[in-house]
Amino acid sequence: MDRTTQVIGQSNVFLETLERASRAAALDRPVLVIGERGTGKELVAERLHRLSPRWDQPLVVMNCAALPETLIEAELFGHEAGAFTGATKSRVGRFEEAHGGTLFLDELGTLSMGAQERLLRAVEYGEITRIGSSRPVRVDVRIVAATNEHLPDKVARHQFRADLLDRLSFEVVTLPPLRARPGDVLVLAEHFGRRMASELGREDWPGFAPEATAALVEYQWPGNVRELRNVVERAVYRWEAYGPIEIIEFDPFHSPYRPGSSTAPAPSAPVAESVLPMPLEAEAETPGEGASDFKTRIARFERELLTKALAEHRFNQRATAEGLGLSYDQLRHALKRHGLIAAG
């Protein structure tokens, strides 16, 4: 497991968590890494291995949720030829592959009770038995496990073995979500933005405009660092104008044309035809109005139309331009003319 992604952050809560993981790395004991999706559990597991005395031995990764229940035990402990249908030859499991090193079990909470029982024996006695064999095999493996679930609750519901949890939780490292480390949002965004610009072959990194910076800071990031990376990289590659990046789109699925949408977008011309008469009729009874008054009402209507379109497209200027049948430059000119460029 070789990562190119760095562990980046400067907030106190994040640095304290890294310090706890670093101290635990030197001990040859199991460590349980807890965190929401996208918080970097895999990176912390790699840190635990690289800073341990086992750093030059294998780091073997197994995602417990990626395999059907019938294959998890065979993947963990290996099997002999003929042990089950399709087992044409013997195969070592992840425990034997990780002998002398570290075994990282991701999504630990998804293990079946049967696999948990055999895992407990491996952790407690340092030996495993391949499926279809009666001869135990000695293994020297350090276990690092990760989950996004609160395992004590699963123990209370009889979905996880209490004795296994006791064995694996010598140290528990709980990663803070990104919303709890706001000082790191812009640091991470700058890192991902520069790297994406370099990947695209752009010589200069323009940075983020104030409205984009404010949006990044105010967002709650339910997908944490992984979501932040996607949002920033998407914004960089879509930005084709000169100057700092202004448009941040958090939901890549947002579209007025998405399947199942309850409302369909109306074409720009019919909207103008149906809305334009309303302010004219409302003010038609006022006497003495001339051409200048007509221009005022047209300008007011245009501003209202732009404001409404921006809100409907979540202030995404390119989507707003497309919805109004304008080019991006035409929309930007109209926004500046009406003093709406900050809102856009």
Whether 208 maps to a domain, the answer reads: yes
User: In terms of residue numbers, what domain contains 88?
Assistant: 12-176
**Separation CA 80–CA 335 (nearest Å):** 70
What pLDDT was estimated at residue 292?
Answer: 58
Domain-located, residue 194: yes
Of the residues 141, 157, 176, the one at which a domain ends: 176
* Residue 79, domain member (yes or no): yes
In a domain, 155, yes or no: yes
Same domain, 102 and 238: no
d(CA 329, CA 336): 11
Q: Is residue 325 part of a domain?
A: yes
Shared domain for 28 and 171, answered yes or no, is yes
If asked whether residues 159 and 188 sit together in one domain, one would say no
Question: Tell me, what's the pLDDT at 83?
Answer: 74
Contacts of 92 by beta carbon, 8 Å cutoff, 6+ apart? 78, 130
Give the number of domains in the chain.
Answer: 3
| Judgement on whether residues 100 and 19 belong to the same structural domain of the protein | yes
Q: Are residues 230 and 280 in the same domain?
A: no
Q: 47 and 160 in one domain?
A: yes
CATH of the domain at 113: 3.40.50.300
Rounded to the nearest 10 degrees, how much is the dihedral formed by the CA atoms of 300, 301, 307, 309?
-170
Picking from 139, 156, 176, the residue at the C-terminal end of a domain is: 176
61 in the same domain as 19 = yes
What end-to-end distance do the CA atoms of the chain give, in Å? 43
Is residue 5 in a domain? no
Rounded average pLDDT per 10-residue block, the chain, 344 residues: 69 95 95 96 96 96 87 86 77 93 95 90 90 89 96 96 96 96 95 95 92 95 96 94 91 85 46 33 45 72 85 84 82 81 52
pLDDT at position 251: 92
Q: What is the pLDDT of residue 5?
A: 54
Mark which of 142, 176, 210 sits at the end of a domain: 176
136 forms beta bridges with 129
Closest CA to 39 of 169, 172, 180: 180
Is residue 124 domain-shared with residue 38, that is, in the same domain? yes
pLDDT at 275: 30
Residue 148 located in a structural domain:
yes
In this structure, are residues 123 and 165 in contact, taking their beta carbons and an 8 Å threshold?
no
- Residue 6 falls inside a structural domain: no
| pTM beyond 0.75, yes or no | no
CATH (domain of 276): 1.10.10
Question: Do residues 171 and 53 share a domain?
Answer: yes
My answer on whether 234 and 267 are in the same domain is: no
Q: Residue 245 belongs to a domain with what CATH number?
A: 1.10.8.60
Instruction: Check residue 173 and give its pLDDT.
Output: 97
CA dihedral 82, 85, 160, 164 (to 10 degrees): 10
**200 in the same domain as 170:** no
Same domain membership, residue 308 and residue 198:
no
